[in-house]
Amino acid sequence: MNPAPSTLVAHQDATLRARLSSVRPLPGVRAGSGLLAVGPRLLALQDDARAVAWIDPATLQVRPQVLEGHGGALPKKEKPDYEALMRAPDGTIWLFGSGSKPNRRRSAQLRADGSVRLRDDDALYELLSEALGGKPNIEGALHLDDRLRLFHRGVAAETDAWVDLPATVLAGAAPRLLELRWLSLGEIDGVGLHLTDAAALGDGRTLYLAAAEYTSDAVADGPVSGAAVGIFDGAGARWAPLMEPTGEPSRRKVEGIAPEGDGRSGWLITDPDDAEMPAELCRYELEGNW
């Protein structure tokens, strides 16, 4: 029997700084919901399409890759809501739906030869629902040694969580709960921060993104009062508000992070929650004891 899960409380750390140094629109990419560095390129998820976007960050050239169907934008009720992506040790890339609705319970595997394998993962999402006590809203995924860690985003006063499963679920093994950890990530202007992505730094530290979005529904969008970059490490969890290049607090809905090197710089992608507006590729810089 697993012990009762504890809550990891994140604290704002005044010694940390997180700022955007550049913001550039990405024509052809709408709802940026995840980001991964793959060699010199970036791979972006779009939560409203069954397609991903390969990005050259130097030129902003975008090459779409269709997962199934026509790959174009879909109505909200039909979108697959791919929100999390990660790279496995064998080099394949995995995408996960949020699980917030029955049609959002799929995973996709991108292989080195360019082929795509899609899979309905009802058993996985049923286990997540049981562990969380409600419908999951997966926003991040990491392969950590022999574990698959999935990050659940709460809404309103709910806490977020990470859920650890054996990494063998990627090969089709039955899902099994290894650990559940609740996450309380703080707030900005009275609005709770909820996790939108996470990236492992390879030394036991994990960078994460969070947005303070005013909504009481995992499916509905709302106004964003701020954003944060945080870190999980051996000392707990700490965060700093994300600032604009001009110095004021950012209110961009940042949903994907791709760190470079030690993580003190890298790339973010935004979801403007407006089909008429492109996603933005942002350069970030961190200062302080991250």
Q: Does residue 118 fall inside a structural domain? A: yes
Asked whether residue 4 carries a pLDDT value surpassing 80, the answer given is no
- In sequence order, the β-bridge partners of residue 162 are 151, 181
The reported pLDDT for the residue numbered 208 is: 98
Q: Does residue 153 fall inside a structural domain? A: yes
The reported pLDDT for the residue numbered 215 is: 77
Q: Does residue 251 fall inside a structural domain? A: yes
Q: Identify the DSSP state of 53.
A: E
pTM value > 0.85: yes
Interatomic CA distance for residues 200 and 205, integer angstroms: 6
Q: What is the pLDDT of residues 151-170, one digit of tens each?
A: 999 988 889 999 999 999 99
Higher pLDDT, 19 or 69: 19
Interatomic CA distance for residues 285 and 128, integer angstroms: 34
Q: Does residue 52 fall inside a structural domain? A: yes
Angle, alpha carbons 218-141-62 (nearest 5°):
90
As a whole number, the mean pLDDT across the chain is 94
Asked whether residue 40 carries a pLDDT value surpassing 80, the answer given is yes
The reported pLDDT for the residue numbered 5 is: 81
Q: Does residue 2 fall inside a structural domain? A: no
Higher pLDDT, 214 or 144: 144
The reported pLDDT for the residue numbered 216 is: 61
**Contact by Cβ (8 Å): 164, 148:** yes
Asked whether residue 1 carries a pLDDT value surpassing 80, the answer given is no
The reported pLDDT for the residue numbered 36 is: 98
Residue 156: domain span: 7-287
Report residue 259's pLDDT band, with 50, 70 and 90 as the boundaries.
Answer: very high
Q: Does residue 139 fall inside a structural domain? A: yes
Q: What is the pLDDT of residues 109-125, one digit of tens each?
A: 999 888 999 999 999 99
Q: Does residue 29 fall inside a structural domain? A: yes
Asked whether residue 3 carries a pLDDT value surpassing 80, the answer given is no
The reported pLDDT for the residue numbered 214 is: 82
Q: How many domains does the chain have?
A: 1
Between β-strands 51-56 and 17-26, what pairing exists: parallel, antiparallel or unpaired?
A: unpaired
Alpha helices in the chain (DSSP H): 122-132
The domain that holds 213 is classified in CATH as: 2.120.10.100
177 CB contacts (<8 Å, ≥6 apart)? Answer: 2, 127, 131, 163, 164, 165
Q: Does residue 243 fall inside a structural domain? A: yes
Interatomic CA distance for residues 290 and 279, integer angstroms: 27
279, two tokens = 């996603």
The reported pLDDT for the residue numbered 218 is: 56
